[in-house]
Structure 1
């Protein structure tokens, strides 16, 4: 059974509904507007990268100064560091204490003319400013919790070579007793969060709005696992009749598995589920395998795009069932532009191969700020555009969400 697009007439309650007129020119414009959401984020990411706003390297000097930038070259005893303003500084190796790069920290020992390096794993919330004590195999940090109090080295530290990909740093041997050998458990690869928000109005308008959402990510050496879910609910009381009306009642969940063939190229399987009582939708299932590529994969800036076939199965109230084969294209940007603040942008385009007019776009923008290690606030904008909605329903749903969450 094929659903036909509906024409919603303009009225006083929906002043912007004139945009729903079903002229061929307007349909082409609306479709192009939504499809363009896909490359816009990619262009923005590349621009940010080119102007040099994404840095992941930190260098701590002997005098305690911490420099942040991008290490571009190591030539003998000199480290070339590109700063935020685009300038390049030359740092003498003898003046450096520590280097934090990627997932590792480099500590250097000097014994006469010999140079040796100790590489240890970097904890999740590590910062050079948190280092208060350095020994041969251990960094002692300020009180950031049990997970980051001590970062210990792996047993067996070889002689270091001056490598441009992983430069080394010198350390005072007086605070480096050789008999201290501590090995910690492997760093945690997973993390998650649970957020909730509640808004209540009383007076001219009486309403209650609630949202509950959660996310889980486990990024390992060979594969990644992701899961996120959201539930939205709103009830409005009619003052004239004193009758409660449910205006929002929907739940969405996405599970994804990625297998890394190379550090950047991967294959995946993505499963999306949705329920929406207002649209008389019992469930919508979109199953999609495919391949993807990580164009940017630094500590603070990540961008990936993917594509593959998609199978959509929908069941509506009354027993109406529809299914179709099509294509899915998706992309995601994650940018930690501040130490405790992250921004994300994502979009997905799904189109039926049987009817090219049957397509939809899911997009979202979000900002998350950690007040403490465990407590965070977040703001999100979600947009769903369905070119062929159910009869009597609008094509586009926009949602703004503010919530407080717990990180684990």
Structure 2
């Protein structure tokens, strides 16, 4: 009797382990962030920020949506207010090559622009594709449309978009992230860099320290070319 029970238990355990191994991984993933930002440049203030990212990996298409908001008030007056939205579609040709489609828009009350938006379609290549390290490079022609806040003038320009995205799992639960983009146009060019270090706390919860730089060659009068953000956020991944 005991032998029969033991065999049954082992079979059930083996079946459960096999089922766990065979369970398909969900193509959906994402994260939500909430934290603190220290900014300098067009505004020198301390702010709270939130961000949301949703990704879907398919056989032929990879998709992602990023939304972020940053606000701050000093003595009841809004001193910082910025919103970002980015949509990315990648059509995979092979394990490494893909068609990169990107659309972004930024709305910042204090940088002299009503909005800044770009759209581009080009070629992407995953130069490094390993379990703990990835590097993707992109080059794409595109179009930029900016609206000035003071005059309401709209500036349009053809651009060349260059991008590099790097992530490295330094150790279990600790990751380094670097994202760089350059939107190079005849009338204006914008460069962005985000450097981050993400550390797991427990389960799906982690902390992330990020340093962002944005440089715009031509800006409205009385505005600075460079904005910097140093942020400490809590990240929940799903």
Same fold (TM over 0.5): yes
Change (3 A) 1:375 1:281: same
Distance 2:86 2:37 in 1: 25
1:284–1:313 Cα contact (<8 Å) kept: yes
1:341 maps to 2:210: no
Higher strand share: 2
Distance 1:195 1:303 in 2: 23
1:362 maps to 2:192: yes
TM-score when normalising by structure 1? 0.51
1:405 aligned partner: 235
Match of residue 286, structure 1, among 99, 103, 118: 118
Match of residue 248, structure 1, among 80, 91, 98: 80
- 1:333-359 C-alpha deviation (Å, 9 max, x unpaired): 01111221221101011111x33xx21
Unpaired segments of 5 or more residues in structure 1?
A: 1-132, 141-149, 154-183, 201-206, 238-243
The offset of 1:199, in angstroms, is 7.6
1:282–1:316 Cα contact (<8 Å) kept: yes
Number of aligned positions between the proteins: 220
2:210 aligned partner: 380
Unpaired segments of 5 or more residues in structure 2?
A: 1-11, 39-44
Distance 2:199 2:214 in 1: 25
Match of residue 47, structure 2, among 195, 209, 213: 209
SS of 2:51's partner is strand
SS of 1:151's partner is helix
1:115 aligned partner: none
Match of residue 311, structure 1, among 143, 151, 159: 143
1:225 maps to 2:63: yes
The offset of 1:245, in angstroms, is 4.3
Structure of higher RCO (CA pairs closer than 8 Å, 6+ residues apart): 2
- 1:47-75 C-alpha deviation (Å, 9 max, x unpaired): xxxxxxxxxxxxxxxxxxxxxxxxxxxxx
- Within 5 Å, give how 1:74-85 maps onto structure 2: none
Distance 2:37 2:17 in 1: 45
SS of 1:347's partner is strand
- What do you get for the CA RMSD once the two structures are aligned? 2.2
2:128 aligned partner: 296
1:373–1:407 Cα contact (<8 Å) kept: no
SS of 1:188's partner is coil
Distance 2:118 2:84 in 1: 11
TM-score when normalising by structure 2? 0.85
Q: Which has the larger radius of gyration?
A: 1
